[in-house]
Amino acid sequence: MTHDLAQARRVADDLATITVRDGAGEIAGHSSGEDVFGNAPSATVPPKSV
């Protein structure tokens, strides 16, 4: 039970981190889909139309 809770918490933290990074990229106005660090989007995410 404790292990499952710890695993779920790690997954939630990862999702929160991804969401915050994507949101920061949107706020910064990177229309190319790059994040605030200039990294290209992952292959699983379709590029935004410019």
Amino acid identity at 31: S
Query: pLDDT digits over 9-37, tens only?
Result: 888 777 666 555 555 555 555 455 555 56
Structure-model confidence comparison of residues 3 and 24, the more confident one: 3
pTM strictly above 0.75:
no
Give just the sign of the alpha carbon dihedral 33, 35, 40, 45. Answer: negative
